[in-house]
Amino acid sequence: MALFAFEHVTFRYPGAARAALCGVDLAVEPGQFVLMCGPSGCGKTTLLRHFKPTLAPHGAREGRILFEGEPLEEVPVREQVARVGFVMQDPDAQLVTDSVWHELAFVLESLGCDQRTMRLRVAEMASYFGIQHWFHRSVDTLSGGQKQLLNLASVMVARPEVLVLDEPTAQLDPLAASDFLAAVHKINRELGTTVIMSEHRLEEAYALADRVVVMDAGRIVIDGAPRVVAEELFRSESPIKAALPVPVRVCATVEGSRAAASASQATASASPKGNGQADAFASETPAAVGRLPLTVREGRAWLAAEVAAHPPTRRALPDDGAADAPPAPMAVELEDVWLRYERDGADVLKGTTLAVPEGSLFAVVGGNGTGKSTMLRALCGIARSYRGKITVLGHRLRDWKRTDLFHGGVALLPQDPQSLMAKKTVRDDLEEMLAHRGLSADQRAAALAEVVTAAEIEPLLNAHPFDLSGGELQRAALAKVLLSKPRLLLLDEPTKGLDAAFKERLASILRQLAARGATVLMVSHDVEFCASYADACALFFDGGIVATDDPRPFFASNSFYTTAASRMSRGLFDNAITAEDVVSLCLS
């Protein structure tokens, strides 16, 4: 008997035009790790919330949800609390109490456990998740990753049989996200807890799951083992395929085009039956499905076999050095900049030196807490350096008047785009930027129309900023920032919480800006994004820039801090840093 069974569940929010869930049939077996994916707004969250009746949204529902064969609504609340754990997206708002130990004990207190049981369970959980070192800390001293791990632990302490996670890593940086996923995987593998998780960042989660469910417009469109689903996504040209792990993408693309090539050969030479291509693809599929690599390790093995079977004509991409480019004037120059926030505090920037040419898309990568964000703050004068020289757009920073600097000069898009939105609608927020500038109504409308088109947010103008998805919010905030017509745009983690499709749109917007002569300086953890789109990359470590180079030599020379494609093709290909690079070399 399935642990959870959804039978023809249809759900409609009050007053909504279309149903959020349409005839969903889903049976989850005990011990499964189910990964839910789909474009934002496809109904993942709505479906996940139905696993827990106390969280289920209000609206009209048809169909049955069974928990161990019994209708879920009839399971007593106490039992639901203990047996189904739910972790949400926001690491901060989910915490209820002020200290770590209390948070861990919260659910046990609710369930009315006695002192001995609570002590044991809390101790057990803290030890299992490695929380004992910060057991007595106050929650506001924790990092985002620690907070989310605490949220997970404080749900697991009730020993649930089912763990439901709704985009748990959306607000974490990649390192914290992979730690979190490792913890979830450990729970699934070592305790046999059933896991149902929605994610839009599939790179890591995909290989951990043993079942993938793809949703679109409230329906389950594909449901199966990861390799089968990946194959299906490529066959149906789904937009989600861009979010799949690099090895899957490389293998599926290469095998797909080989199959297409051999099929067209077959049609051209042998029979003019017309359905030759489909036949060829179908006959290729079982072999491909079995071999589809999900991890870098499998990817390397596949690539080695592939290179041996079909030796490519080229093994290296040219090292596109920019030696011939004329030296552009610098938009930003930092020379030995030192900065600390408190008089007796530690230095955050320690002699940072950096030069960013005008009109470039410059990426600074590096770990957490190394001072990347502080560097951006120093560049727009929010944080003051105490030594060194900062030149922005041709003038020393201290010679700029504040009003001039932020009007047509510099703009900073913070890590959390929400913090830029302060009004009731996106339109009000955008208009705030144009007020008190002495512009005529026509000029304001024109300026507004320009950024709205650039950021593609026309349909969102009348929405409340809180109702936007991560990607929409990011674009709305970007539009707001662009209204000051910055010549230097500073971005702090612009891809945090964005899915693959949104990342591509963001990149094209940034490209357009750079093409018009603006300089974009972003700090990011997202090496894949930087490798694909940046003009130059720099590695930030311990308060300073360690190395600067074009993305290709930069990532090709790193072997740990680099892209999955580079790690996968190391030793086989040279200078291949994106999935497209590897594919093009394979097919050469």
Partner 1 sequence: MSVLPAQGRCAFASLHPAVSFAFFAGVLLLCMVLAHPLLQIEAFCLAALCYVSFRGRAAWRFVGGLAVLLAVVALVSPLFNAQGETVLFRWWAGRPYTLEALALGASTGLMLAAMMLWFASYHLVMTSDAFTFLFARALPGLSTVLVMVLRLVPTYRRRIEKLAMARAGIGQGPSEGATLAARVRSAGTVLSALSADALEGAIVTADSMVARGYGLPGRTHFALFRWERRDSVVLMVMAGLLTAAVVALVLGDTAVRYFPAIVVPPVGADVLVGAFCYGAFLLLPTAINLGGRLAWRCSLSSM
Contact footprint for partner 1 (CB under 8 A):
52, 54-55, 77-78, 81-82, 85-86, 88, 90, 92-99, 101-102, 105-115, 118-119, 122, 136, 138-140, 151, 154-155, 158, 377, 380, 382, 402-403, 405-407, 411-414, 416, 418-423, 432-433, 466, 480-481, 484, 490
| Cβ distance to partner 1 smaller for residue 66 or 100 | 100
Least separation, in Å, of the C-beta of 90 and partner 1? Answer: 5
| Cβ distance to partner 1 smaller for residue 109 or 319 | 109
| Cβ distance to partner 1 smaller for residue 233 or 411 | 411
Here the contacts of 175-183 (C-beta below 8 Å, separation 24 or greater) are: 175/145, 175/367, 175/368, 175/525, 176/143, 176/144, 176/145, 176/148, 176/368, 177/145, 177/201, 177/204, 178/204, 179/145, 179/149, 180/145, 180/148, 180/149, 180/152, 181/205, 181/208, 183/129, 183/149, 183/152
Q: What span, in angstroms and rounded, lies between the C-alpha atoms of 556 and 562?
A: 8
| Cβ distance to partner 1 smaller for residue 112 or 274 | 112
Least separation, in Å, of the C-beta of 399 and partner 1? Answer: 14
Least separation, in Å, of the C-beta of 123 and partner 1? Answer: 11
Sheet containing strand 410-413, strands side by side:
410-413, 488-492, 519-524, 361-365, 536-541, 544-549
DSSP for 262-318 reads HHHHHHHHS---S-HHHHHHHHHHHHHHHH---SHHHHHHHHHHHHHHS--S--B--
Q: Do residues 497 and 177 make contact, with C-beta atoms less than 8 angstroms apart?
A: no
> Which whole-number Å values give the CA distances from 145 to 222, 259, 343, 573, in the listed order?
31, 43, 28, 35
Q: What span, in angstroms and rounded, lies between the C-alpha atoms of 538 and 549?
A: 6
| Cβ distance to partner 1 smaller for residue 230 or 392 | 392
| Cβ distance to partner 1 smaller for residue 411 or 506 | 411
Least separation, in Å, of the C-beta of 411 and partner 1? Answer: 5
Chain centroid to Cα 564, Å, comes to 15
Least separation, in Å, of the C-beta of 84 and partner 1? Answer: 8
CA-based radius of gyration for the chain: 26
| Cβ distance to partner 1 smaller for residue 246 or 481 | 481
Least separation, in Å, of the C-beta of 463 and partner 1? Answer: 14
Least separation, in Å, of the C-beta of 89 and partner 1? Answer: 8
Exposed, middle or buried, 213 (CB in 10 Å: 0-12/13-18/19+)?
buried
Using DSSP, state whether 348 is helix, strand or coil: coil
Q: Do residues 30 and 3 make contact, with C-beta atoms less than 8 angstroms apart?
A: yes
Q: Give me the half-sphere count of Cα atoms (radius 13 Å) on the Cβ side of residue 480.
A: 29
| Cβ distance to partner 1 smaller for residue 207 or 379 | 379
Residue 537 β-bridge partners:
363, 549
Give, for 579, the enclosing helix (H) or strand (E). helix 579-586
| Cβ distance to partner 1 smaller for residue 100 or 582 | 100
Least separation, in Å, of the C-beta of 531 and partner 1? Answer: 27
Strand pairing category for 361-365 and 536-541: parallel
The secondary structure of residue 343, as a DSSP letter, is: T
Least separation, in Å, of the C-beta of 404 and partner 1? Answer: 9
Least separation, in Å, of the C-beta of 65 and partner 1? Answer: 16
Give, for 372, the enclosing helix (H) or strand (E). helix 372-379
Q: What span, in angstroms and rounded, lies between the C-alpha atoms of 518 and 537?
A: 17
| Cβ distance to partner 1 smaller for residue 422 or 449 | 422
Taking residue 336's Cβ as centre, other Cβ atoms within 10 Å add up to: 14
Token pair belonging to 354: 């950096």
| Cβ distance to partner 1 smaller for residue 6 or 51 | 51
| Cβ distance to partner 1 smaller for residue 351 or 414 | 414
Residue 223 β-bridge partners:
213
First to last CA, the chain: 51
Least separation, in Å, of the C-beta of 12 and partner 1? Answer: 21
Taking residue 32's Cβ as centre, other Cβ atoms within 10 Å add up to: 20
| Cβ distance to partner 1 smaller for residue 299 or 465 | 465
Least separation, in Å, of the C-beta of 451 and partner 1? Answer: 13
Least separation, in Å, of the C-beta of 325 and partner 1? Answer: 31
